[in-house]
Structure 1
Amino acid sequence: MIKLSTLVVAISLALTSQAQAEQTITASDKAIKLAKDTIIIDTHIDVPYRIHESWVDVTQATSDGDFDYPRAVKGGLNAPFMSIYIPAHLEFEGKGKSYQLANQMIDSMEAIVQRAPDKFAIASSSTDIKEQFKQGKLSIAMGMENGSPIEGDMKNLQHFYDRGIRYITLAHSQSNHISDSSYDIRRKWKGLSPFGKKLVTEMNNIGMLIDVSHISDDAFYQVMELSKTPVIASHSSLRKYTPGFERNMNDDMLLALKENGGVIQINFGSSFVTAKAGSWGKQLKSTKESAKKEGTKLSKDFDAAYRAKNPYPFASLEQVLDHIDHVVELIGIDYVGIGSDYDGVGDSLPIGLKDVSSYPNLVQGLMDRDYSDKDIKKILSGNLLRVLKQAEEYAKKH
């Protein structure tokens, strides 16, 4: 067992090293201005579940988490899609609890606007986002992570659309009544369920974006065949840099996404960005399991002690940029955006992208890689706005 004093020193050194690395990333005045002058849409921020678990007023500065209003303003964030995240528990699926929890978290987003109407506004369309940007307000858009609250009833799709939900991640970490999950080795439906296939059509017709993050490869390709409008991967990165991690997308999927006209929103979580971070997590889990098999009683400081001896391999801003580069090189500038997963991936965020104040660092990195202002604006919001607008126009006709 590591002595407490040794553990404290090790953690202190690790944090100091990380802080020093953070300080080397400095956005220029031009990068900061571009971030402030451009609509920034981040399609996946987990504030609703964060404040559901432990309430905090994000209209003011907070001491924890990755999002609050002052940091959003500093980073230039204008339109976060707040994730109405429903855990993939069997006790939720099909028993009314998913529906109830989703409505409670939507209520919490409306409460934020009511608490600070000078700062926030609910956005339910591409026009809302643009108009609220002009007004200097932060748009709260919403996406539902896990389609279990639909509960097999198309009326619920309309209900959640009316409440402001504009995309649905069909499944999460387990297969549900709509789709198989990339994390679930049981491929119950071998892709989409019969109801899931009907749901895709109805989502198209109503103007709800289909989110292919989290679903299995088979489900992804079935969505590609069925959807008449562009889809999004709201918070996914690339399998090229994380071999074997099905949660990310491979090159063939990116090519299919281009044909569909959709967009992949790059996830910032280190395990999504670099294989080393994913391997670290697997090794920690394996070490725990081995200790338990040997009858060792794990201390409450086990994870911290392990991290002190085996520092977590945080991804870097440069590695996040590599993901963006690869999408652009393979399928073009029109099909990539930002889906950070802030407040959803714990303390695994990359150096230089630790919270919502960090977007200027991303802009600086893109500038350093010779992206034009026009192309940077596409990544920050233009591509997502295009997809959202296409979904809205299709729904008007159907």
Structure 2
Amino acid sequence: MDLQARADRLTQAALLIDGHVDLPHRLHQFPENPAGSTIGGDVDYPRARAGGLDAPFMSIYVPTELQDAPSTAVERANTLIDLVEQMAATHPEQFAVATSPSEVRQIAETDALALPMGLENGAGLGGKLENVEHFYDRGIRYITLTHGAHNRIGDASYDDSPPRWYGLSPFGTKIVSEMNRLGMMVDVSHVTDSTAADVLAQSDAPVIASHSSCRHFTPGWERNASDELIEDIADTGGLIMITLGSKFLRAEYQDQDEPIREEIRAHIDSKGWAEDAREAVAYRQRMRNENPIGTVHDVADHIDHVVDLVGVEHVGIGSDFEGVFALPDGLQDASGYPNLVAELLRRGYANDEIAGILGGNVLRVWSEVAAVGQKTRLTS
């Protein structure tokens, strides 16, 4: 059997969990039927199934511009959860909401995709501690504490303004403790190093980075995880879930997408299309597909780096599909995961190691976090 065939079989046989997919946000902006082939974005049921994907964590994304209007931020989060639930209700043969590792495993035995959920941007809590439990009850199983700007919880790596808290805020400290109590994973993607350090000092449970890559390949870019942070996350028992976005992979890729974006904008303007017109969406997607930046080898390099630092049990995949513009050749949508698996096989990874990277590792961490929550509630 050739290598690609082995990769295809292994990917289909493994339980593949992607830590971060922004499909709800895309469908909120441009409604399509994700149970069939869609013209926009990176993920729909046919492409997911072709790529062996079993459980994409649905990102319940609250944009930075909403975080100064707490009630609006909470409303957006609830709206996107409603959208995910509606996907499952409308297309039960294709989608099912999952709130635990056991549910993911059960759904994976069917033809449906399991849809666990994570809240991206703790601003969606609206500044209220009790909303952590509200969103847990609605199915949220991790919270990415910040996004593009400092918020009430802590400081964000994308924010160029002076630090607001120099780490976690006092409110953020309470949020982490409440997440531990409920058994909800704490996600340090998007936070500053000082915020991440405070999280690691505060959390009694393993910590994750649901969609971050290695700063080793993008020196000085705080959005990616430093070697020290990777080691500290591993010390908690947690993991880094490598994102596929081109700008995360190499420093030299970070500005290569701008000419493509400019060409897209100019073409759409020349046609007089609205940004969300079907023609504009289709053209933008075609241009993305025709202009990959980077390769599957770059992604495997990040996996190698984490493995060399802390071991294979502390790495996973968090593609950021639907949330990034440029993607590497061979990994431009959810059908491409076997191409990454083929590269890992070329590099000598064993089948069980690859199965861990694809999903076993995040199931372990999720289970350990849930166990901490159960123990905390029993002893409190």
TM-score by length of 1: 0.85
Would the aligned equivalents of 1:277 and 1:313 in 2 still touch at CA under 8 Å?
no
Deviations 1:330-370 (A, max 9, x none): 11001000000111112x01001010001111111110111
- In structure 2, the residue matched to 1:170 is 145
Q: How many residues align?
A: 355
Aligned to 2:354: 376
Q: Alpha carbon RMSD of aligned pairs, Å?
A: 2.2
- Give ranges in structure 2 of 5+ residues lacking alignment: 271-282
Which residue does 1:15 correspond to in 2? Answer: none
Secondary structure of the residue that 1:182 maps to in structure 2?
A: coil
Q: Does 1:353 align with 2:328?
A: no
2:130 and 2:105 mapped to 1: Cα distance?
Answer: 29
Deviation at 1:283, TM superposition (A): 8.8
SS of the residue 2:196 aligns to: helix
Is the Cα contact below 8 Å between 1:142 and 1:166 reproduced in 2?
yes
Matched, 1:336 2:311: no
On the 8 A contact 2:153/2:171 being kept in 1, the answer is yes
**Aligned ranges for residues 1-398 of structure 1 at < 5 Å?**
28-89=4-65, 91-185=66-160, 186-280=162-256, 300=269, 314-346=293-325, 348-398=326-376
Write out per-residue CA displacement over residues 280-308 of structure 1, whole angstroms, 9 at most, x where no aligned residue: 358999x99xxxxxxxx99947xx9xxx9
* Aligned counterparts of 2:163 and 2:54: Cα–Cα separation in 1: 38
The change in CA–CA distance for 1:191 and 1:38 in structure 2 (over 3 A counts) is same
Distance 2:177 2:366 in 1: 16
Provide the rounded CA distance (Å) in 1 between the counterparts of 2:236 and 2:185.
Answer: 13
**Residue identity (%):** 43
SS in 2 for 1:352: coil
Distance 1:61 1:394, change over 3 A: same
The residue type equivalent to 1:337 in the other structure is G
3-state SS, counterpart of residue 265 of structure 1: strand
Where does structure 1 differ by over 4 angstroms across 4 or more consecutive aligned residues?
A: 281-285, 297-301
What SS does structure 2 have at the residue aligned with 1:370? coil
Partners of 2:3 and 2:335 in 1: CA distance: 11
Question: Structure 1, unaligned stretches of length 5 or more?
Answer: 1-25, 289-296
Q: Is the 8 A contact 2:292 2:327 kept in 1?
A: no
CA contact (8 A) 1:27 1:361 kept: no
CA distance in 2, matches of 1:298, 1:345: 20
Q: Name the structure 2 match of 1:291.
A: none
Instruction: Give the whole-Å Cα distance in 2 for the aligned partners of 1:313 and 1:141.
Output: 29
Once the two structures are TM-superposed, the CA of residue 251 in structure 1 deviates from its matched residue by 0.7
Measured at CA, do residues 205 and 107 of structure 1 come closer, stay the same or move farther in structure 2, by a change above 3 Å? same
Q: CA deviation at 1:152?
A: 2.1
Amino acid at match of 1:357: S
Counterpart code for 1:190: Y
Q: Distance in 2 between matches of 1:201 and 1:92?
A: 22
Preserved contact between residue 44 and residue 342 of structure 1 (Cα < 8 Å): yes
Quote the offset at 1:120 in angstroms. Answer: 1.3
SS at match of 1:96: helix
User: Structure 2-normalised TM-score?
Assistant: 0.89
Which residue in 1 is equivalent to 2:277? none
Q: Read off the aligned partner of 2:41 and give its amino acid letter.
A: G
1:258-287 Cα offsets, whole Å, 9 max, x none, are: 1111100001000000111114358999x9
Q: Is the 8 A contact 1:255 1:331 kept in 2?
A: yes
Q: Residues 96-117 of structure 1, C-alpha deviation per residue, up to 9 Å, x if partnerless?
A: 0000000000000001101111
Q: Secondary structure at the match of 1:254?
A: helix
For residues 165 and 27 of structure 1, what CA distance do their matches in structure 2 show?
38
Structure 2 residue identity aligned to 1:50: R
Q: 1:189 to 1:118 in 2, by over 3 A?
A: same
Q: Do the aligned residues in 1 keep the contact of 2:187 with 2:208 (CA within 8 Å)?
A: yes
Helix, strand or coil at the partner of 1:78? strand
